[in-house]
Amino acid sequence: MTGDNDAPWLLTPGPLTTARETREAMLRDRGSRDEAFLEINARVCTRLVALAGGEEASDDYVCVPVQGSGTFAVEAALGTLVPAAGGKVLVLVNGAYGARMAKICTLLGRDMEVLENAEHEPTDVAVLAARLEADPAITHVAAVHCETTSGILNPLEDIARAVAKGGRRLLIDAMSSFGALPLDVKAMPCEALMASSNKCLEGVPGLGFVIAREKSLAEAAGNASSLCLDLQDQWRAMAETGQWRFTPPVHVIAALDTAIAAHAAEGGVAARGARYAENCRILVEGMRGLGFETLLPDVLQAPIIVTFHTPADPNFQFATFYDHLRARGYVIYPGKLTQTDSFRIGCIGQVGSEQMHGLIAAVTSSLEDMDVTRCGP
């Protein structure tokens, strides 16, 4: 791992610790319409589509990059691919990011319903299938693959089969899984999947992207109510000129180009996912050894981020715990999204077993300094 000696290890769901080579890729200035940058941009888009389903995926799918965070890409996809007239989205919710998609649909004026499960429960596919059968007005289903509110892994393949069987179109928030967990748009048909540069690809923040079915983009002209987030217009302009409509995050894209190359050198999705799984194993075993309890059972846990119940010990105060870990060189997520009183620790980024064992040692000494003796809820 190549973290800087004077920087903390970021055990968050992104931004996260990046490789030195990735950061160094941003040290060169490039013109946004310079041929060298346009080549980098095209290469990044090609590689991202390949990560979603191999080289064959480019026959039907294209990558449309969007300035901003992953949420910008999600909003662009929902606003462009779901028509205001005649479109209706069933949003699968079992955490904050599904709820965010529902809020986006509401603000965009898209007809929408929610199918909700508790934050510690995966999407109920049988209920989904029944809802689709009962409501022929539903045209699209929006699902989160790994819901980082809790760290739960939703049954995406089963969801995709139910949506395809029902003749609907699937939109996948793959923000926290793309690059580390298997995703194949050929085997698991979807209208689009949305992700970002600063998660499992280990790039830096500033770029979202949508891998969308080209035919659907071609049919989506006029759907968007936003100029900046008009995915169809962004795709059309880039296909015609190779250029962005507005100033692109040049340095971020250069960093992502380097990060994708490192991802391939590591061994691709399988190797990246295996490293994260080992990080998760060390984290969970170490924290349970100290008495902490996870929100999720192992069978539902994605190797991306883990949610732990807050200890009932009156000496435990999360802000103090956070500061102790920060002083020891580890930054965890400084807040909770679950309804349950909890905190989260990430397993992703340019970190490995050495850093995860180091974290457990830091947690142990922090608890001692705080005089916390009971870590269960």
Pair 170, 287 in one domain: no
Pair 213, 312 in one domain: no
Determine the Cα–Cα distance for residues 157 and 49; give it in Å rounded to an integer: 19
In a domain, 366, yes or no: yes
Q: Which residues pair with 163 in a beta bridge?
A: none
In a domain, 1, yes or no: no
Pair 286, 332 in one domain: yes
In a domain, 375, yes or no: no
In a domain, 175, yes or no: yes
Pair 274, 216 in one domain: no
In a domain, 43, yes or no: yes
In a domain, 112, yes or no: yes
Please give the residue range of the domain that contains residue 56. Answer: 20-265
Domain boundary among 218, 239, 265: 265
Pair 38, 134 in one domain: yes
Q: Which of 89, 90, 70 has its CA nearest to residue 79?
A: 89
Pair 110, 257 in one domain: yes
CATH number of the domain within which 216 lies: 3.40.640.10
Q: Give the CA radius of gyration of the chain.
A: 21
Pair 143, 117 in one domain: yes
Pair 248, 337 in one domain: no
In a domain, 111, yes or no: yes
**DSSP for 190-218?**
-SEEEEETTSTT---SSEEEEEEEHHHHH
| Helix residue ranges, H only, the chain | 20-24, 35-51, 70-81, 96-108, 125-134, 156-165, 214-218, 231-241, 250-266, 268-289, 318-327, 353-370
Domain boundary among 265, 297, 324: 265
Q: pLDDT exceeding 90 applies to what percent of the chain?
A: 92
| pLDDT at residue number 1 | 52
CATH number of the domain within which 339 lies: 3.90.1150.10
Q: What is the pLDDT along the chain (377 residues), one digit of tens a residue?
A: 545 657 899 999 889 999 999 999 999 999 999 999 999 999 999 999 999 988 777 889 999 999 999 999 999 999 999 999 999 999 999 999 999 999 999 999 999 999 999 999 999 999 999 999 999 999 999 999 999 999 999 999 999 999 999 999 999 999 999 999 999 998 888 999 999 999 999 999 999 999 999 999 999 999 999 999 999 999 999 999 999 999 999 999 999 999 999 999 999 999 999 999 999 999 999 999 999 999 999 999 999 999 999 999 999 999 999 999 999 999 998 766 778 899 999 999 999 999 999 999 999 999 999 999 999 99
Q: Are 306 and 347 in contact (CB under 8 A)?
A: yes
| Residue 16 tokens, joined | 């996260």
Domain count, the chain: 2
Pair 231, 278 in one domain: no
Cis amide bond preceding 15, omega within 30: yes
Pair 287, 345 in one domain: yes
In a domain, 4, yes or no: no
Q: Which residues pair with 195 in a beta bridge?
A: 209
Pair 289, 341 in one domain: yes
Determine the Cα–Cα distance for residues 34 and 356; give it in Å rounded to an integer: 42
Domain boundary among 265, 296, 319: 265
Pair 134, 178 in one domain: yes
3-state helix, strand, coil in the chain (%, to 5): 45, 15, 40
